[in-house]
Amino acid sequence: MLIASQSQRESNVRAEEDLSIYIQVVPCKRRTDRNERLVMGFRFDLLLLFTTLVLLSTTTSTVLSDVILSKVDRRIDLTSQIVRVTSTLKVENVGPGPVSEVLLTFPEIQAKNLAYLKATLNEGKGKVKNSGSNLPINVANPEELPPSLIFHSVSLPKALGEGDSLTIDVLAVFTHVLRPFPEEITQADIQLVLFQDTAHYLSPYAVKVQSLTVKLPKARIEMYTKLENTNIHGSDIKYGPYENLPPFSYAPVVVHFETNQPFAVAQELVREIEISHWGNVQVTEHYNIVHGGAKSKGEFSRLDFQARPHLRGASAFRNLVAKLPPRAHSIYYRDEIGNISTSNVWGDPKKTELLIEPRYPLFGGWRTTFTIGYGLPLQDFLFGSEGKRFLNFSFGSPINDLVTDNLIVKVVLPEGSDDISISTPFPVKQGQETKISHLDVAGRPVVVLEKTNVVPEHNQYFQVYYRFNKLSMLREPFMLISGFFILFVSCIVYMHVDLSISKSSASYLAKLQWDEVRATIQQVISIINQCLSKHERLEASLHDLSRTGDVQACKTARKTADSLFKEYSKELKPLLSFLQSSPQATQILPKVEELVAKEKELQERLIAKHSTIVDCYEKKIGGRELENRVASHQQKVVALKQEVEDLLEYVEEI
């Protein structure tokens, strides 16, 4: 530890005098009154931050001297509402003793918006770099260093000896640091935002060489701070290189630029992940989203927006994209009114993308609420380890570039789960509650995880461990079986109770015969319904064929359907014979026979359609020719379906 040099203090004093007189800002166009007001508006913030750093650095009697940063390369990405700062630090130990940690420094005004921080050891050389595993990071409170700065300690994998060096890659992610200016705009205005930082890397260590690159979404820059060695290349502003910078060196910069990227902020997101050991994981996500950019003022014109959306609504966003797991199914999207049809789903073996559009475009300050739900195969996310089961699931939201102010993740475990433990890659607030669902007795345990200021980098896997007795899976089926058994026994007892006055009367015998006829007709209806169900499965195999191209699977489905149709035909023969011989069935028999005949004809047409499509796929015939071959069959199938449904409804009513 060494005393701060006199030259450093003199440099700080000179810099403070320069800043108090004027902050040098260079507009990319002719300076306007608005730009001048901009400088005056943010001059106080920069001066306050600057003065705080000066006082802290001059009143601190010691600085760290065992470590220097021989090279610092910073890259600030401002292409979205989430600001990502990537720093490559070459750390060198110039002291006599070993160094086991490196301090990262953030001012309080910046640290309050720090959402994610990661440090990795860069083991590569030259142009090819290999990033190692994450290094442990903890909040530090070092003595004799500025208390108004927030320090994070990065633990090195092994102590750095005298003269040794290593390279660390640091990723810092910030939210809500881009300030809209002006704060309110009309529908026709573009969105301008302000970003402020320091061109010099703020660190308790001396820096030999450092440079900074600020990447913007567009080449249009309203204004930016002009320092020594400042260059613009397209949409990038480059500061530096700067050499031999003392500890706690700084150079405030302001960038005022255009961005029309979506500022989608979920003020609250509740994700419910419900586990069913019968093979499914159901995910339900409730969003409360607001546009966090410049607030909209004035009237909104739907006509102007639809006619020229890029000019009369450039700052608004109309859709969001969610990247779901690859085998997501049963996807739905709705709000408080009901289902929203403006959505689209497409996927491949690696992912499933869901594009959703709210009922109206979102301008600055506007908000919307909606719900997304989907199912996932249980075997993809539930595993076993040492006699326990554990769920391995992603933590954050699947929506791209979404900032979540408050995220609540609820994992609903099966009833009877115990010995619950949680493993997360970062600190979260944990709790537990109980949910009562259908066929529950004591309720299902629910693990509740809560975190604020969540960004896409938090979308990492966490684990929930628990024990579950396999016999507990039989609880709900046993309850269902018992309930149906009691119901059936009650029905049997009721049906066999003799409430008639005389069993030899003609009316009683006629009633018995009609009951037999009605029971037979019910069996016919049941068989017809089973046939219709197999028709649907046969058509479903054609949909799968168009999606996957698996001809063999389609043939297998056809073969299975043929065998089932033959069995149903055998079952129908004795039933029709009974109806033909019963005098009570005289009136309804023609309709029943017509129903059976129409269903048989529908089978033949559907099988012909199926054979035609499979044959076309085998011969690689598609497009218009395939449609022409199938058209006649399809028209007949649709007509026969309607006739069968009408006859079935008529027979059921009788």
Residue-wise pLDDT tens digits, 82-126: 999 999 999 998 888 888 899 999 988 889 999 999 999 887 654
**Count of CA atoms in the C-beta half-sphere (13 A) of 156:** 21
Which comes out higher in pLDDT, residue 598 or 373? Answer: 373
**Count of CA atoms in the C-beta half-sphere (13 A) of 136:** 8
Residue 622: the pLDDT is: 72
Closest CA to 198 of 331, 45, 371: 45
Residue 82: the pLDDT is: 94
The pLDDT tens digits for 450-475 are 999 999 999 999 999 999 887 777 77
**In the predicted model, is pLDDT for residue 522 greater than 90?**
no
Where does the pLDDT of residue 325 fall: very low under 50, low under 70, confident under 90, or very high at 90 and above?
A: very high
Where does the pLDDT of residue 62 fall: very low under 50, low under 70, confident under 90, or very high at 90 and above?
A: very low
Residue 10: the pLDDT is: 46
638-653 burial: b if 16+ Cβ within 10 Å, else e? eebbeebeebbeebee
Residue 13: the pLDDT is: 41
SS3 assignment, position 109: helix
The pLDDT tens digits for 424-449 are 999 999 999 999 887 767 789 999 99
Average pLDDT of every residue of the chain? 83
Across 21-148, the runs of DSSP E, i.e. the strands, are 25-27, 62-63, 67-77, 83-93, 99-107, 114-122, 131-134, 137-140
**In the predicted model, is pLDDT for residue 307 greater than 90?**
no
423 pairs with which residues across the strands?
Answer: 463
**Count of CA atoms in the C-beta half-sphere (13 A) of 516:** 15
Instruction: Give the distance, in angstroms, between the CA of residue 487 and the centroid of all CA atoms in the same chain.
Output: 44
**In the predicted model, is pLDDT for residue 217 greater than 80?**
yes
Distance of alpha carbon 198 from alpha carbon 149, whole angstroms: 14
* DSSP characters over 169-210: EEEEEESS-PEESSSEE-TTSPPEEEEEEESSPP-SSEEEEE
**Count of CA atoms in the C-beta half-sphere (13 A) of 71:** 8
Residue 102: the pLDDT is: 92
Question: Which amino acid does the sequence have at 622?
Answer: G
| Residue indicated by tokens 């058994």 | 485
The pLDDT tens digits for 629-639 are 778 778 888 88
Q: What is the 8-class DSSP label of residue 588?
A: T
| Residue indicated by tokens 């390279």 | 167
Residue 496: the pLDDT is: 82
Class of domain 67-124+132-258 as given by CATH: mainly beta
Residue 127: the pLDDT is: 43
Which comes out higher in pLDDT, residue 322 or 601? Answer: 322
Closest CA to 432 of 441, 414, 445: 445
The percentage of residues in the chain with a pLDDT greater than 70, rounded to a whole number, is 86
pLDDT (average), residues 403-413 = 96
Residue 8: the pLDDT is: 42
The phi and psi torsions of 528 (rounded to 5 degrees) equal -60, -40
Residue 288: the pLDDT is: 96
Question: Which amino acid does the sequence have at 34?
Answer: R
pLDDT (average), residues 210-238 = 90
**In the predicted model, is pLDDT for residue 52 greater than 80?**
no
Where does the pLDDT of residue 297 fall: very low under 50, low under 70, confident under 90, or very high at 90 and above?
A: confident
| Residue indicated by tokens 């419910």 | 272
Tokens of 356: 């959703």
**In the predicted model, is pLDDT for residue 43 greater than 50?**
no
Residue 88: the pLDDT is: 94
Distance of alpha carbon 168 from alpha carbon 73, whole angstroms: 11
Residue 350: the pLDDT is: 84
Which comes out higher in pLDDT, residue 390 or 24? Answer: 390
Quick check: do 67-124+132-258 and 264-468 share a fold? yes
**In the predicted model, is pLDDT for residue 397 greater than 70?**
yes
The pLDDT tens digits for 2-40 are 333 444 444 444 434 433 333 445 544 434 455 445 444
pLDDT (average), residues 321-349 = 90
Closest CA to 168 of 101, 206, 121: 121
CB 49 within 8 A of CB 43: no
The percentage of residues in the chain with a pLDDT greater than 90, rounded to a whole number, is 37
268-279 burial: b if 16+ Cβ within 10 Å, else e? ebbbbbbbeeee
The pLDDT tens digits for 506-518 are 777 777 888 888 8
Highest mean pLDDT among 311-315, 489-493, 536-540: 489-493
Highest mean pLDDT among 213-217, 350-354, 567-571: 213-217
Count of C-beta atoms within a 10 Å radius of residue 358: 21
Residue 503: the pLDDT is: 58
Distance of alpha carbon 372 from alpha carbon 356, whole angstroms: 9
* DSSP characters over 564-586: HHHHHHHHHHHHHHHHHH-GGGT
Residue 69: the pLDDT is: 93
**Where in the chain are the domains?**
67-124+132-258, 264-468, 508-653
| Residue indicated by tokens 């290094």 | 135
Distance of alpha carbon 30 from alpha carbon 42, whole angstroms: 20
Which comes out higher in pLDDT, residue 77 or 540? Answer: 77
Say if domain 264-468 classifies as CATH 2.60.40.1730: yes
- How many angstroms separate the first and last alpha carbons of the chain? 99
